[in-house]
Structure 1
Amino acid sequence: MKPDLLFPYRLYLVISEADCQGRDPLWVAEQAILGGVDIVQLREKQLDTDAFLLNAARLKAVTDRYGVPLVINDNLAVAVQLGAWGIHVGQRDLPPSLIRKVWTDGCSVGYSIEQPEQLYSKETEASDYLGISPVFSTATKTDTIIEWGTDGIRQIRQRTSKPLIAIGRMDRTNAADAIRAGADCIAVVSAICSADSPRDAAAELKELINNAL
């Protein structure tokens, strides 16, 4: 099956309170969705589970209103209790194979790949889609190993049929290049969360992505 049938999303917003720089994350998320964001991930590394769950429940009310999937970053308890569409984890988080054993009712599992050899593992096999992290180094994620670049996306595309999400300093200057290199979707943080108009920023990115397909 083609990746776009499994993962038909093109513009992926990763959001947190900190990323919104004092603005209401619910407002930012809604504006981004109105601009063209297809899927939203809540990433709250600094919050405890109760606070994370509260923020996630509020955000899910927004995403449900627009029929947009909500992904929880690296907190299985929140994802399960909330009934989220899915969960996304990295190399130092809960492994996808364990998530599958605990959360058995059809959740979607995303998994970040940081080195080429990680592509051939049982954890990659257990995941539904792969985050190529980071395409370009970024201040929002400092614990990564290499910078993939668009050549890295191209190489991974040749080695897997899983949907690929490009993340890491993705913005209007490189989104189209990542899609042309083989990414199925662009994940964005600052380019939307820090924009004067999240809606306009999302709309511009979506147009660039669609034109590159």
Structure 2
Amino acid sequence: MPSGVVVLTDRWAARRPLPEVVTDAVAGGVRWVVLREKDLPRAERAALAADLRAVLAGAGGNLVVAGPDPLGGDAVHLPAAGPYPPPDVALVGRSCHDRAELSRLTTEDYVTLSPVYPTGSKPGHGPPLRPAGLADLIRYSPVPVLALGGVTTPDQVHACVGAGAVGVAVLGAIMRAADPATAATTLTSAFAQADRNQRENP
């Protein structure tokens, strides 16, 4: 089950090839990556998925593929719009934004809730939930939640975990970073501290 800091890919935002950025993110403690890149032809996307799985496997990490086709793997992350029911694979996540979308869940294992904060990758998308809105939807969600959207700082990670999220999904904070390993270390360390605080002071 995805938790901690989950990285979403965007090769257009990344400063270097995705396998290099993901290698750095893994060095910084990331163990879950969601492959987006939906504009690529399937063969190229499948080859990229294989490359990223190889990077993650060395650290015991996992790749989730955005869309219903797992590209040879066993984990997918679906948009709110569909498909319903989800494909029969080992792990299924879905993007949700409100109670109506959460109420349509069936066999999904986890969801992302977004946008928690204003986001550079989808400007104008929202309005942002903020931690209070996130906490409200997490109480309503039947499955674990990853907080997504505009999470870039340790304070934001702490706020999301405090709201009840099992992790944070980030894109720009890693993809646009001059040093993805250091950026990942900063966020994964913040998550570990926030998670520890949450367990000690529930």
TM-score (norm 2): 0.88
Q: Using the alignment, how far apart are the partners of 2:2 and 2:42 within structure 1?
A: 30
Q: Deviations over 1:48-79 (max 9, x none)?
A: 212211211111111122211100011x33x1
Partner of 1:152: 133
> What do you get for the CA RMSD once the two structures are aligned?
1.9
| 1:111 and 2:111 correspond | no
1:25, distance to aligned residue in structure 2 (A): 1.0
- After superposition, the Cα gap between the structure-2 partners of 1:8 and 1:15, relative to the gap in structure 1 and judged at 3 Å, is closer
8 Å CA contact 1:60–1:70 kept in 2: the answer is yes
Aligned residues: 194
Q: Using the alignment, how far apart are the partners of 1:86 and 1:68 within structure 2?
A: 12
Residue type of the partner of 2:151?
M
8 Å CA contact 1:89–1:96 kept in 2: the answer is no
Partner of 2:72: 82
Q: Using the alignment, how far apart are the partners of 2:40 and 2:178 within structure 1?
A: 26
% same residue: 27
Q: Which of 76, 83, 95 lines up with 1:95 in the alignment? A: 83
Where has structure 1 moved over 6 Å in runs of 4 or more?
Answer: none
Is there any run of 5+ residues in structure 1 with no aligned partner, and where?
1-6
Name the SS for the 2:106 alignment partner. Answer: helix
Partner of 1:198: 180
Name the SS for the 1:33 alignment partner. Answer: helix
Q: How does 1:19-30 map to 2 (within 5 A)?
A: 19-21=13-15, 23-30=16-23
8 Å CA contact 1:113–1:132 kept in 2: the answer is yes
Name the SS for the 2:60 alignment partner. Answer: coil
Is there any run of 5+ residues in structure 2 with no aligned partner, and where?
196-202
- After superposition, the Cα gap between the structure-2 partners of 1:32 and 1:38, relative to the gap in structure 1 and judged at 3 Å, is same
TM-score (norm 1): 0.83
1:114, distance to aligned residue in structure 2 (A): 1.5
Q: Using the alignment, how far apart are the partners of 1:107 and 1:89 within structure 2?
A: 14
- After superposition, the Cα gap between the structure-2 partners of 1:142 and 1:107, relative to the gap in structure 1 and judged at 3 Å, is farther
Q: Using the alignment, how far apart are the partners of 2:165 and 2:136 within structure 1?
A: 11
| 1:209 and 2:197 correspond | no
- After superposition, the Cα gap between the structure-2 partners of 1:48 and 1:141, relative to the gap in structure 1 and judged at 3 Å, is farther
Residue type of the partner of 2:114?
S
Residue type of the partner of 1:65?
G
Q: Which of 51, 56, 65 lines up with 1:63 in the alignment? A: 56
Q: Using the alignment, how far apart are the partners of 1:59 and 1:183 within structure 2?
A: 25
Q: Using the alignment, how far apart are the partners of 2:107 and 2:84 within structure 1?
A: 6
Q: Using the alignment, how far apart are the partners of 2:133 and 2:182 within structure 1?
A: 29
Residue type of the partner of 2:28?
G
